[in-house]
Amino acid sequence: MSVGLKLPTSILPINGIRLSTCCANLYKKKRTDLTLIEFAEGSNVAAVFTKNLFCAAPVQIAKQHLTEYKPRYCLINAGNANAGTGEQGLLDSSITCKALANATGCKEGEVLPFSTGVIGEVLPVDKINTVLPELVENLSANSWLDAAKAIMTTDTIPKAVSKTISLGESAISITGVVKGSGMIRPNMATMLAFIATDANIRKDMLEKILLHAVNKSFNRITVDGDTSTNDSCVLIATGKARHKCIDDQSSEEYAILENALTSVFCELSQAVIRDGEGASKFLTIKVTGGKQQSECIDVAYKIAESPLVKTAFTASDANWGRILSAIGNSGINDLDINNIEVFLDNICIVENGQRAASYTEEKGSMVMLQDEIKLTVNLKRGEHQEVIWTTDLSHEYIKINAEYRT
């Protein structure tokens, strides 16, 4: 069950983007499991991928195609990760790209393949290729929500966000979908994200915005600390909006678009956490007062990925000693623990490295009962701060992952 997450509504079409979904029977049960995204000719595409060295075959193929061609399609299957499949996996991804190229008239290298699901199973190429004509025939500008559903695996709810902004006299639309629930600790989670806009922006500028947005969103979430073999995030700009091409990083238009896209990325990444496997709590971990950005991130993740801290939140147990232990194990060798402050929402639980004089167990327990909790740590050693989002660790998480293949 997701935490504070509702079914998306009012998903905006993007001029220059069409999508379709169908059932390729990649699951035992009947459901949509194959998605096609088409971009208008001339669209600029940027992408980032998992840093897992065992990256899936489609990740390897997509990276290669991006360097050699200007993509026209994303082909996404759920139910099979096509990871840990060796040379056969690479061949299978290439075969599906070639089949789609034949069905659309594009080049094989203009297709970016993506997969999500069970690792180590051979991709059922014939099932996918059989339904490609149906996918192509049913392309529509209004199928974003269908796409959000079709790319799901252990997700409980489709995740999509839309936003409209103004650039000069032009109205700019942004829409994105994401899937992800477990195996989430992007180092760009199992996570696939596809975001599109009709903004007109030079490709190198789009790539800069993507890196900024990812670092403030998908690289600031964790469910279980595991980085998937298939993580991918794609940003598409069709250039169909009627405004001057953005080609200056110092321009007001660049800043407006970067802020809007980063906002969409953050909403999507938080939706992943709100739908984290077995999640009963949505947790914001904020670390302030760091000498460097990196140490704030290290402390935040050490807390967020501690099983002891996470299970305490599941039990609504204000066991703040576990939080202190995580901070002390974060790798900051010259940390003065006597300066540390820790807050649960607005309740100070630790000051000067020990229990706050004003803190009571009753106050802490009241906060811990909430579905959404903000934990703030002040290191008091600098001006840097960072925020990440995470879940608790429940019995349901264990059940979902113990039964994943059964």
Residue ranges covered by each domain of the chain: 17-274, 282-402
User: Which letter, b or e, does each residue of 38-72 get, where b requires 16 or more Cβ atoms within 10 Å of its Cβ?
Assistant: bbbeebbbbbbbbebeebbbbbbbbbebbeebbbb
288 is a catalytic site residue? no
Write down the architecture of domain 282-402 according to CATH.
Roll (3.10)
Q: Report the alpha-carbon distance of residue 365 to residue 346 in Å, rounded.
A: 13
Neighbours of 34 (CB within 10 A): 25
Report pLDDT for 297.
94
**In what helix (H) or strand (E) does residue 344 lie, and over which residues does it extend?**
strand 341-344
- CATH code, 17-274: 3.60.70.12
Which of these is catalytic: 190, 197, 262, 314? 190
Q: Which residues of the chain have pLDDT under 50?
A: 184, 188-189
pTM assigned to the model: 0.93
Q: Report the alpha-carbon distance of residue 25 to residue 50 in Å, rounded.
A: 27
Residue 104, φ and ψ in degrees, nearest 5: -115, -20
Q: Report the alpha-carbon distance of residue 96 to residue 113 in Å, rounded.
A: 8
